[in-house]
Amino acid sequence: MSSESPSFLYSIAFFVAFAIPEALNILLPAFGDAVTQRRVKVERAYPPLLLPVIVTGVTVEKVTSSISPINRDRSELPKAITHEPPQKPQIPIHFPAIIDDLDPMAKEPVRVLVTGAAGQIGYALVPMIARGIMLGADQPVILHMLDIPPAAEALNGVKMELIDAAFPLLKGVVATTDAVEGCTGVNVAVMVGGFPRKEGMERKDVMTKNVSIYKSQATALEKHAAPNCKVLVVANPANTNALILKEFAPSIPEKNITCLTRLDHNRALGQISERLSVPVSDVKNVIIWGNHSSSQYPDVNHAKVQTSAGEKPVRELVKNDEYLNGEFITTVQQRGAAIIKARKLSSALSAASSACDHIRDWVLGTPEGTFVSMGVYSDGSYDVPAGLIYSFPVTCRNGEWSIVQGLPIDEMSRKKMDLTAEELKEEKDLAYSCLS
Ligand SMILES: NC(=O)c1ccc[n+]([C@@H]2O[C@H](COP(=O)([O-])OP(=O)(O)OC[C@H]3O[C@@H](n4cnc5c(N)ncnc54)[C@H](O)[C@@H]3O)[C@@H](O)[C@H]2O)c1
């Protein structure tokens, strides 16, 4: 073997990179651990170097047990890691997950509950969460998926697919039909599960079913979720389900219980973008006021579009108040029904994506100068009756939302805002009558 040959150079590199650190690892364990960490990072960048790791017999457990402190004191939590690394891996296929833990700056996993996870929104939503779309590309997650016993087999199928997709951020999956197990330790709860209105059913019958579901899930969340758990209710009637949840989980701060109107908000952005042939990302500050139902009021009076000449009001660019006060509003209000007519199924991917937008902005903040719509507990702002879960324009900072104050409200808007509040009051009364 000549000194110029590739195999000779490889032997030298192997000696410097692995044999010396291994010797130090035995003689000086603390220094050896530091070198081992560095080496695993190098191996991530240069996968061919993994071969000597197998040859030298360095085990993955040693690396993780000496360095990763994550979840040490969480023995009471559901056993989430359903695809843990085997004790003595023959092939280092689990390295990506373990390398994340080696970074001293690595974040602890956040536990996210999705109820109704075997349903169609759930099926679209869980991979988005596992990919980091909801909480960020550097935020590991443990998914808690809850459904009812008749859906247990389908739920297990979703779990299998999540494992098969090998999402690097996904640190574990709890798939269960037990609400206590599903809720234990969760930091974020996305409540998609509910009882759908079936043909021939009265509104009151559907409300009775959902009130009882949200009452019992409120109790499970209150007792078993992590402190400061953020709750988003998606299942319809979303505002009233959220209100029931709030009533029966009195120790969860009311600021932590919200419902989804971001889908309606995004639909409104989409309609303006189509009308003006501009990218949807250039449109902002539409508002959905009120109920996630056809009584909602999609309002463009404060909406703006980014143009080459700066931000311009939507009304100025559209130049058609008849459209904005008529067809635009009804299109957004009726969009859910239009999707059902076209797809023979209700909206799922847009609902899942909007749920991610809602939580992401709530947790990570809204961009400067931008507001979004969220169904939140009314404090009486804009003369909306206090004590309803009503959709308002909000900004988010440091994990807290605040209602945007001081927007001028014209006469037409006032009427529409009151109309949707009236519907919410009726729903609230109906829900309470179902409880008694
Ligand atoms: N707020 C919004 O913007 C918005 C948009 C679209 C749909 N929705 C609503 O979201 C809900 C889910 O829609 P989908 O299309 O996924 O419905 P789906 O019927 O496909 O799924 C619902 C799932 O919930 C489960 N479920 C029922 N009761 C449950 C309980 N007590 N605990 C846990 N899980 C339970 C069902 O087994 C099912 O798997 C519906 O109420 C729908 O009207 C809301």
pLDDT tens by residue, 192-209: 999 987 777 777 888 999
Q: How many CA atoms lie within 13 A of 197 on its CB side?
A: 10
The residue from 83, 292, 302, 358 that is catalytic is: 292
At residue 212, the 3 state secondary structure works out as helix
Which token pair is 94?
């689990």
Residue 292 annotated in active site: yes
Residue 64 has what pLDDT?
Answer: 29
**Residue 347 pLDDT greater than 50, yes or no:** yes
111 beta partners: 142
Determine the distance separating the centroid of ligand 1 and the alpha carbon of 422, expressed in angstroms: 25
Determine the distance separating the centroid of ligand 1 and the alpha carbon of 50, expressed in angstroms: 45
Residue 276: which residues within 8 A CB-CB, separation 6 or more? 283, 305, 314, 317, 318
Is-contact 318 276, C-beta < 8 A? yes
Quick one: average pLDDT of 122-143? Answer: 98
**Residue 173 pLDDT greater than 50, yes or no:** yes
Q: How confident is the model at residue 293 (pLDDT cuts 50, 70, 90)?
A: very high
Determine whether 1 is exposed, middle or buried from the number of CB atoms within 10 Å of its CB (0-12, 13-18, 19+). Answer: exposed
Higher pLDDT, 351 or 70: 351
**Residue 375 pLDDT greater than 60, yes or no:** yes
What is the helix (H) or strand (E) element at residue 394, kind and residue range? strand 389-397
Which DSSP symbol is given to 78?
A: -
Task: Supply the mean pLDDT for the chain.
Answer: 84
Give the ligand 1 atom nearest the CA of 354.
3
Quick one: average pLDDT of 182-191? Answer: 98
For 23-27, 87-91, 129-133, 398-402, which range has the lowest pLDDT when averaged over its residues? 87-91
Which DSSP symbol is given to 284?
A: E
Residue 84 has what pLDDT?
Answer: 40
Quick one: average pLDDT of 271-297? Answer: 98
Is-contact 307 364, C-beta < 8 A? no
Is-contact 235 209, C-beta < 8 A? no
Residue to mutate, 236, 356, 391, ligand 1, most ligand atoms under 8 Å from C-beta: 236
Determine the distance separating the centroid of ligand 1 and the alpha carbon of 194, expressed in angstroms: 5
Q: To the nearest whole percent, how much of the chain has pLDDT over 70?
A: 76
Residue 33 has what pLDDT?
Answer: 42
Is-contact 133 360, C-beta < 8 A? yes
Distance between CA atoms of residues 191 and 241, nearest Å: 9
Higher pLDDT, 226 or 17: 226
Q: How confident is the model at residue 89 (pLDDT cuts 50, 70, 90)?
A: very low
Give the ligand 1 atom nearest the CA of 151.
37
Which DSSP symbol is given to 196?
A: P
Distance between CA atoms of residues 99 and 40, nearest Å: 7
Determine the distance separating the centroid of ligand 1 and the alpha carbon of 196, expressed in angstroms: 7
Determine whether 202 is exposed, middle or buried from the number of CB atoms within 10 Å of its CB (0-12, 13-18, 19+). Answer: exposed
At residue 253, the 3 state secondary structure works out as coil
Instruction: Please name the residue whose Cα sits nearest to atom 26 of ligand 1.
Output: 193
- Pocket around ligand 1 at a 6 A CB cut-off: 115-116, 118-122, 146-148, 151, 192-196, 213, 234-236, 238, 260, 263, 292, 346-348, 351
Which token pair is 416?
């529409």
Distance between CA atoms of residues 390 and 229, nearest Å: 20
Determine the distance separating the centroid of ligand 1 and the alpha carbon of 55, expressed in angstroms: 51
Question: Residue 71, Cα to own-chain centre: how many angstroms?
Answer: 21
CA distances from residue 199 to 202, 206, 380 in whole angstroms, order as listed: 9, 11, 37
Give the ligand 1 atom nearest the CA of 346.
15
Residue 228: which residues within 8 A CB-CB, separation 6 or more? 187, 253, 256
Residue 71 has what pLDDT?
Answer: 34
